[in-house]
Structure 1
Amino acid sequence: MNLRLRQHVPVALALISGLVMMACSTSHSADYPSESSDSRYPEQQKPVVYQAFTRLFGNKNSTNKPWGSMKENGVGKFADFSDKALSEIRALGVSHIWYTGVPHHATSTDYTQYSISLDDPDVIKGRAGSPYAVKDYYNVDPDLATDPAFRMQEFESLVKRTHANGMKVIIDIVPNHVARDYSPFKLPNGITALGEGDDTSVAYHRDNNFYYVPGSSFDVPAHSASFDPMGGAEHPLADGKFDESPAKWTGNGARSAQPDVNDWYETVKINYGVRPDGSYDFPALPADYATKPIDAHFAFWQDKSLPDSWYKMRDIALFWLDKGVDGFRFDMAEMVPVEFWSFLNASIKHENPDAFLLAEVYQPDRYRDYLHLGKMDYLYDKVGLYDSIKDVMQGSKDVSVIDNATNEVSDIADSMLHFLENHDEQRIASAPFAGNAERGKPALVVSALNSRAPFMLYFGQEVGEDGSEETGFGDPSRTTIFDYAGVPAHQRWMNEGAFDGGQLTAKEQALRTYYQHVLTIAAFHPAMQGGFQSLQQFIRTASDENSTYSFMRTLDKAPLVVISHFGDDTVTGAVDIPRRLFSDSVVASGINMVDLLNNEPVATRVDNGVISIKFSLAKNQSLILSTSAMK
């Protein structure tokens, strides 16, 4: 994504200061800027992504019965994302909403009255089912519609509302696997379903969409005697059996006709022309394409004979672009060949050059292949920055690991999306993580501000959701993705659909205000387009230096200095910054620093080529300092 700075930086900075002060006085404001050509508004300086688990977001039911049905525990709808809800999300500086769980996935809920086939709970995880076991890529999940007969129309209306509120839409595509019983309801003209026409007599054929275990029928995994896929409720297909002959390989690559209970047994793996021995049955992408533009990648694949799955997944992505979707989050992208991503992403960008392409990849030694050869825009910075910050928050590592993680991806830093929570990770406030949402404050400041890369916020994180509910298949500490459930702290902010925080506690309200302050700066401050400079070597403290982290975002007229304290005790000290890191115009202004979080001045001193900034930070406190060039 190409984000340009406005020419009148001081004017934009003054507005940033005003926006932060607006956030200080109110926890919600529809007056925050949207992506607009209006010259009063600064441009979005970097993407801020809001991940909303769509099924849970708008659910007002607080019953949370373990293994409860949709009727018992309730479910959120597309319609719950009202203009008010969307404007409040936008007020957090959000530029993109990732609506998680939109494509139709397998569920134990009966929708046969809408001519949707009944799914077998023996190959479903939870009563609601995993959104990553997609049953039909050409429709949306019926749970999410007020009227399931018009579910696609309701989604299209949500896309329009999101755009009207100044944000773009991201949905999931799960390229590696689909539901065990993949069965589209109605396909577009000229499109055939995955698996249709496969030669099931062989384990592998280049143009088969799935892998098979010839001569063997599928056996349901051997669960413990106490396991019940319906949690005690009745279902006509819950008999410990599932008819699949021959058996297909399981989504995580397990090749047995009876996968293990820890395998992704509810899914089957898609074949992209990777033979069972691991060799490739498609053309190699020349290494020099790592430096070639996206249109060269598009041209490269036009005259090639490719596996059938490549074309089917391309058609799926283009279908959603036609629905107004602005980008995709690709699940477990590293389980699919890089060459396929070159083909798919070039096809997507050919249709929409501004499409937002985010991939889940956990192998650092492959990051650059997926970015440069696979043409992803962004990857999760999970193994590096997220894991490092989590270690610091838990007290097992000192803050030096943050610089280590940052340095390891310095050449691709702009492409490494940052986050502190998502649907796969523990909630910050959960006991196994930090046990207190307040401990996430310094982590938020560091993660959101230390690069030009996008920052992602998981719904409920901003009000301290702790994920402690025992809802069924899902484990506490992570908000469930398998069950029908309510999300308590988020529901208090939602306030029966008013989306005004009316039921939040004072601490929850203050936390959301803090998130709004920080993310407004991340979204709109011009320094986000500046460079990164660690200041760790310049910190002086009277006590422990291993829990205080400082860095600078350099921009000639609008630098930011950030100091965050992860320790439990108050720390006092100074950061002695070399004069060379500030521009002449900033030095000439006297280096008067103000904390953007509370608009209070911070003591500075210029002496012998060093700008010294004194600080005293309490537990979990940060300073986000800007210069008087703002005024």
Structure 2
Amino acid sequence: MTTPSWVADSLWWQVYPLGALGADTTGQDRGARHTLRDLAAWLDYAVELGTNGIALGPIFRSMTHGYDTTDYFTIDERLGTLSDFDALIEECHRRGLRVMLDGVFNHVGKEHPAFQEVLTQGSPASRCDWFDLTWPTGDQPGAVPAYRSFEGHDSLITLNHDEPAVRDLVVDVMCHWLDRGADAWRLDAAYAVPVGFWSLVLSRVRERHPDVYVMGEVLHGDYSEFVTSSGVDAVTQYELWKAIWSSVNDRNLFELDHALGRHNTLVESFLPWTFVGNHDVTRLATQLTQPEHLAHALVVLTTVGGTPAVYYGDEQAFEGLKEERFGGDDAIRPALPDRPEELAPDGWPVYRLHQELIALRRRHRWLTYATVEQLHLTNEQLVYRSAYDDNSLVVALSLADDEVTVPTPGGTRLLAGSADLAGAGEGASAHLQPHGWAIFGTN
């Protein structure tokens, strides 16, 4: 593993700036209602939550939602200027917050100058090889070629990753912003790009920035193989995300237990990026059929191995349904008020729960590398031991409508949650209230 040592203690607050700062994402209004500098009002809030990294969504000039980039070297005018970026970096680093940027390197927006040159100049365009194009017979300037697009979106033009100039571009972009103060990169749609491209690019980036952390978006497949072949430090753990909410909703904790077993194998080879919400999925508070089970999801997130991330607003139980339509992401990418004290009062208990569980993880730093051993399993109850070296915790979850008693072998004292612990050591058991949970120390 080449992951920088500082990542072992990292826990991220993920923010989608265009949404959080109230920008218009239709492409009609290019003015800045708020700038990146205004996110500084939320940095103490993130620190008090317990996070020490800010993972920013797209901030470069784009057509609409940020994932249709038109200039990798310019801050989107809807988010302000380069000086606003510099100010945010300074404020983050002053508080000990690392900064991650979102790099969309699988495709560009249709209005990117390189593609516009292709449309106006035809095949003689100097950057024609940046794209995988098929020209009509009798090609003339102004002819429109067929091109590869990202997942059928005609406005997202896939780059030709076999072209050396594209590799050079991505290396230059990544290093430019690392030079400017960024600490890490998220690679959007990393799964759609040949792993050999990432391997060549990242080896060059790390020659100049050996301490950079790189996380790739990968939905399915062999996560460990992708990490090994591509050279990224981590990928998104979507398998665990899905198992957490669906097993709770279905009251089928066998699904979660199976996912945790698979998660163990990942932790042994790299530190997965773990989450229960992000900018692409329905909010956890909306996804769960019973709001009292939100705590169970957070307990899993904070007691298993990996690098956890909290999506802005989830720590306040924001709701939002993702829909497959134009503007269907707006509900899950809402504007924040100007400052935290303007948040609605009913979300603060969930914030304090996040604080409690993140603080527990901070006190047990080894949880970053922990693997899980199942101790007790039914449809509605799961007890597991998280352990690394000589350290361990016992976690008990119940989805039942009634009080239950579950074995908690090794448990000696209550660290978080609510339960009556009977006995200690291998013969311990815990009495949980309906929909209860508890975390126990073992020494």
* TMscore range, shorter length: 0.7 to 0.9
1:287 corresponds to which residue? Answer: none
The separation in 2 between residues aligned to 1:328 and 1:194, in whole angstroms, is 25
Q: Which aligned pairs between 1:249-288 and structure 2 lie closer than 5 A? A: 249-252=147-150, 263-273=152-162
User: C-alpha offsets along residues 508-537 of structure 1, whole Å, 9 cap, x if unaligned?
Assistant: 11111111111222344234155323234x
Query: Cα offset for 1:173?
Result: 0.9
CA contact (8 A) 1:202 1:212 kept: no
1:80 to 2:80 alignment? no
| TM-score, scaled to structure 2 | 0.87
2:414 corresponds to which residue? Answer: 594
1:575 to 2:407 alignment? yes
1:462 corresponds to which residue? Answer: 315
Would the alpha carbon gap of residues 182 and 2 (structure 1) be closer, same or farther in structure 2, given more than 3 Å must change?
closer
2:364 corresponds to which residue? Answer: 525
1:380 corresponds to which residue? Answer: 236
SS in 2 for 1:407: helix
The separation in 2 between residues aligned to 1:526 and 1:45, in whole angstroms, is 8
Letter in 2 for 1:50: W
Would the alpha carbon gap of residues 379 and 343 (structure 1) be closer, same or farther in structure 2, given more than 3 Å must change?
same
1:504 to 2:439 alignment? no
Letter in 2 for 1:605: A
1:51 to 2:28 alignment? no
SS in 2 for 1:358: strand
Letter in 2 for 1:182: H
Letter in 2 for 1:569: D
Query: Cα offset for 1:172?
Result: 1.0
The separation in 2 between residues aligned to 1:503 and 1:409, in whole angstroms, is 35
Q: For the aligned residues, what is the CA RMSD? A: 3.4
Query: Cα offset for 1:602?
Result: 3.4
Q: Which aligned pairs between 1:8-407 and structure 2 lie closer than 5 A? A: 46-59=9-22, 70=29, 75-82=33-40, 84-106=41-63, 129-145=64-80, 151-183=81-113, 200-201=122-123, 208-215=129-136, 245-252=143-150, 263-273=152-162, 307-365=164-222, 367-382=223-238, 384-395=239-250, 398-407=252-261
List gaps (5 residues or longer) in structure 2.
none
Q: Among all aligned residue pairs of Structure 1 and Structure 2, give the percentage whose two residues are the same amino acid.
A: 20
Letter in 1 for 2:319: D
SS in 2 for 1:266: strand
| TM-score, scaled to structure 1 | 0.63
Letter in 1 for 2:253: V
Would the alpha carbon gap of residues 390 and 99 (structure 1) be closer, same or farther in structure 2, given more than 3 Å must change?
same
Query: Cα offset for 1:360?
Result: 0.8
Query: Cα offset for 1:338?
Result: 0.9
The separation in 1 between residues aligned to 2:276 and 2:74, in whole angstroms, is 31
User: C-alpha offsets along residues 170-229 of structure 1, whole Å, 9 cap, x if unaligned?
Assistant: 11111110010113xxxxxxxxx67879995499x9981012231289xxxxxxxxxxxx
Aligned residues: 436
The separation in 1 between residues aligned to 2:60 and 2:368, in whole angstroms, is 35
Higher helix share: 2
Query: Cα offset for 1:87?
Result: 1.4
User: C-alpha offsets along residues 340-366 of structure 1, whole Å, 9 cap, x if unaligned?
Assistant: 11111112222222211111112323x
SS in 1 for 2:51: coil
The structure with the larger Rg is 1
1:561 to 2:394 alignment? yes
The separation in 2 between residues aligned to 1:386 and 1:330, in whole angstroms, is 19
The separation in 2 between residues aligned to 1:131 and 1:317, in whole angstroms, is 17
1:613 to 2:429 alignment? yes
Higher strand share: 2
CA contact (8 A) 1:527 1:560 kept: no
SS in 1 for 2:154: coil
Q: Which aligned pairs between 1:529-544 and structure 2 lie closer than 5 A? A: 529=368, 531-536=370-375, 538=376
The separation in 2 between residues aligned to 1:457 and 1:473, in whole angstroms, is 25
Would the alpha carbon gap of residues 349 and 207 (structure 1) be closer, same or farther in structure 2, given more than 3 Å must change?
farther
CA contact (8 A) 1:595 1:626 kept: yes
CA contact (8 A) 2:396 2:437 kept: yes
